[in-house]
């Protein structure tokens, strides 16, 4: 099986801190997997996500040791633009990602940066909006939408790009229970239909496990303390460290 992300003896320390936030991470994530990264607050989950999508080191500086490979390429040698071609990120606050005046413009933004043709962009925008059931909102302002609808538009934006790895950083944090369940259904549907690798970082255990995941990776104190299928972790008792 092909690994799309590989951490080897990977550690990271923020500039402002004396101790490493991530220590000795060894992890392979494979093409097409749906992964949930769990653990208590301060366990290093979001820092790991920032290493994957390039916010570390491009926005948050610090000391990195070890190796991170993305599709067999040294992550340290990739620009933030090159990283965005491979990893699409959906944040907990969709408002922070909106740049277009309309839903359609926002979904097309990354493709405009890639200098795609107008015809190609239109086809991909409609296709992505249909997949998240937001095609009727193409001409609306993103700021008129509900929290769940905004999250769907953010997802359409990354689906319209080349990225084969989708990283969800606490996508349910600002959603009510019904919108949260709808978002998890949508993520599951996207995973099944697209074959993309999906990585979810989220505290809401019941919502995440309402749909199948291939593996759970549990972090604590900046290290990976357990990894396995939901059944394996339930049998071992490791699930107690999930939240």
**Total Cβ atoms within 10 A of residue 29:** 21
Q: In the predicted model, is pLDDT for residue 238 greater than 70?
A: no
Closest CA to 199 of 8, 1, 4: 4
Q: In the predicted model, is pLDDT for residue 29 greater than 70?
A: yes
The secondary structure of residue 239, as a DSSP letter, is G
pLDDT band at 97, cuts 50/70/90? low
Whether the Cβ atoms of residue 94 and residue 150 lie closer than 8 Å to each other: yes
pLDDT band at 166, cuts 50/70/90? very high
- How far, in whole angstroms, is CA 197 from its chain's centroid? 9
C-alpha dihedral, 180 to 222 to 197 to 82, nearest 10°: 110
d(CA 36, CA 226): 12
d(CA 219, CA 31): 21
pLDDT digits 0-9 by tens, 212-237: 999 999 999 999 999 999 888 878 77
Segment 10-39 mean pLDDT: 95
What residues are paired with 223 via a beta bridge?
220
User: Which residue's entry shows tokens 């749906």?
Assistant: 34
**pLDDT top residue among 26 and 80:** 26
**Total Cβ atoms within 10 A of residue 203:** 16
Closest CA to 125 of 158, 149, 92: 158
Mean pLDDT score of the chain, rounded to an integer? Answer: 88
User: Which residue's entry shows tokens 């990225």?
Assistant: 163
* Span 3-238 CATH architecture: 3-Layer(aba) Sandwich (3.40)
Token pair listed for 82: 């090159």
d(CA 143, CA 163): 25
**pLDDT top residue among 95 and 240:** 95
Segment 139-159 mean pLDDT: 86
Whether the Cβ atoms of residue 94 and residue 151 lie closer than 8 Å to each other: yes
Whether the Cβ atoms of residue 31 and residue 2 lie closer than 8 Å to each other: yes
Residues of the chain with pLDDT > 70, as a percent, come to: 95
What residues are paired with 198 via a beta bridge?
34, 166
Token pair listed for 91: 């944040």
pTM for this predicted structure: 0.88
Token pair listed for 225: 């303390």
Angle at CA of residue 129, ends 123 and 135, nearest 5°: 95
């Amino acid at each position: 099986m092909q690994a799309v992300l590989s951490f080897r003896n990977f550690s990271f320390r923020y500039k402002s801190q004396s101790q490493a936030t991530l220590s000795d991470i060894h992890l392979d994530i494979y093409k097409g997997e749906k992964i949930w990264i769990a653990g208590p607050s301060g366990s290093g989950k979001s820092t790991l996500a920032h290493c994957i999508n390039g916010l570390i080191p491009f926005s948050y500086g610090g000391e990195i040791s070890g190796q991170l490979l993305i599709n067999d390429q040294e992550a340290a040698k990739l620009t933030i633009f090159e990283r965005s071609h491979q990893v699409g990120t959906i944040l907990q606050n969709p408002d922070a990602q909106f740049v277009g005046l309309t839903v359609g413009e926002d979904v097309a933004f990354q493709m405009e940066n890639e200098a795609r043709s107008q015809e190609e962009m239109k086809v991909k925008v409609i296709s992505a909006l249909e997949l998240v059931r937001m095609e009727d909102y193409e001409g609306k302002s993103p700021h008129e939408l509900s929290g769940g609808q905004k999250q769907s538009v953010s997802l359409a934006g990354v689906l319209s790009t080349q990225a084969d790895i989708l990283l969800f950083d606490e996508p349910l944090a600002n959603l009510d229970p019904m919108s949260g369940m709808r978002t998890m259904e949508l993520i599951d549907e996207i995973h099944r239909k697209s074959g993309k690798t999906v990585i979810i970082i989220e505290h809401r255990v019941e919502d995440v496990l309402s749909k199948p995941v291939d593996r759970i990776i549990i972090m604590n104190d900046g290290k990976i303390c357990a990894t396995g299928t939901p059944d394996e972790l339930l049998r071992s008792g490791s699930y107690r460290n999930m939240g």
